[in-house]
Copies of this chain bind each other. A is one copy, B any other.
Amino acid sequence: MRIDNLQYANWSQRIFKQMREGQLDAVHVTIAYHENFRETVLNIERWNRWFEDHADLIMHGRSASDVDEARRSSRTAIFFGTQNPSPIEDDIGLVQICHTLGIRFMQLSYNNQSLLATGCYETHDPGLTRMGREVVKEMNRVGMVIDMSHSSDRSTLEAAEVSSRPIAITHANPASWHPARRNKSDAVISAVTKRDGMLGFSLYPHHLKDGSACTLESFCRMIADTAERVGAEHLGIGSDLCQDQPDSVVEWMRSGRWTRSVDFGEGSADAPGFPDMPHWFKDNRDFDQLRSGLLACGLDDNEVAGIMGGNWYRFYETSFKPIGEVT
């Protein structure tokens, strides 16, 4: 089982073919950064066309059993997620509507304060908002995973505490390895994983020690160390692969419609675009190298199989069904 639990590529047949070459059984893809509900639906409409036009390579994933179905038919199951709660606007009823449309992960905030929670770039973090607490309950009810990748510490700790179902950080690394604002404190990682939540390791260079020059050994050693602290069964990959995207897309991710000036996010005025990926992880065909790197770090076969996809698969099994349907 091989699952990458976060990508946002400039989708094309070429990339879907690379997913097959890399033997990806499932990929969680971002379908909205700052889009409102209607705009998110437009993005789903685009995916519906891709599912039709590339039915030999991909299929829409809604449940863990769809990953099995994709595997059986040599395709990749695509699971929808949003990096911001903007698709539900100010309307809690849209949580169920979005779940019906296939959305399985939603971040409660993206860098900034949202209606629900605080983003990791804000100065102050008052924690989950009144609406945030209601939406966490509703996401629990319908079977949508709370993703705190771009949220700040207090909001994340409260989400882990308030949520009746395990939550996820789909794409980030431990700040103890590389102290980026987007990486996570040991307290946050522990709060999420000790409640059976998941941490997906990111390969986005700004989240890596030494950035684009990060070595495979350093990355895998960091994973092995984290496995020792929190247990390998709570770990997976969320590569944050943004393949073939023009720099205008990273500008949209960072600045959306919320500012008239340019927000460089993790970049800078000197390097405002997408950073180069490390040479050992350029695209979906590089998962074998990652697997070898993990084995070379002393993780055993079972642990590596879990990190490469088995753990996300089990998390999918228990996370996507409405609460009454979970056995």
Interface residues of A (CB under 8 A from B): 37-38, 41-42, 44-46, 48-49, 91, 93-94, 96-97, 100-102
Contact = CB atoms under 8 A, between A and B. Distances in A.
A44 B101 contact: no
Given A42-B93, A48-B96, 16 more contacts: A37-B41, A38-B38, A41-B94, A41-B97, A42-B91, A45-B91, A45-B94, A45-B96, A45-B97, A46-B93, A48-B93, A48-B97, A49-B93, A100-B100, A100-B101, A101-B101
Number of copies: 2
A128 to B, nearest CB: 23
A184 to B, nearest CB: 34
A37 B93 CA distance: 15
Across the A-B interface, the 7 shortest Cβ-Cβ residue pairs: A45-B93, A48-B96, A41-B97, A100-B101, A38-B38, A45-B97, A44-B97
A97 B41 CA distance: 8
Nearest to A45: B93
A26 to B, nearest CB: 20
Nearest to A36: B38
A302 to B, nearest CB: 38
A172 B93 CA distance: 34
A52 B195 CA distance: 28
A82 to B, nearest CB: 16
Nearest to A97: B41
A44 B91 CA distance: 13
A41 B101 CA distance: 12
Contacts of A102: 100
A97 B101 contact: yes
A5 to B, nearest CB: 23
Nearest to A60: B100
A45 B93 CA distance: 6
21 contacts: A37-B38, A37-B41, A38-B38, A41-B94, A41-B97, A42-B91, A42-B93, A44-B97, A45-B91, A45-B93, A45-B94, A45-B96, A45-B97, A46-B93, A48-B96, A48-B97, A97-B101, A100-B100, A100-B101, A100-B102, A101-B101
Contacts of A46: 93
Contacts of A38: 37-38
A137 to B, nearest CB: 13
A38 to B, nearest CB: 6
A44 B42 CA distance: 18
A180 to B, nearest CB: 37
Contacts of A101: 97, 100-101
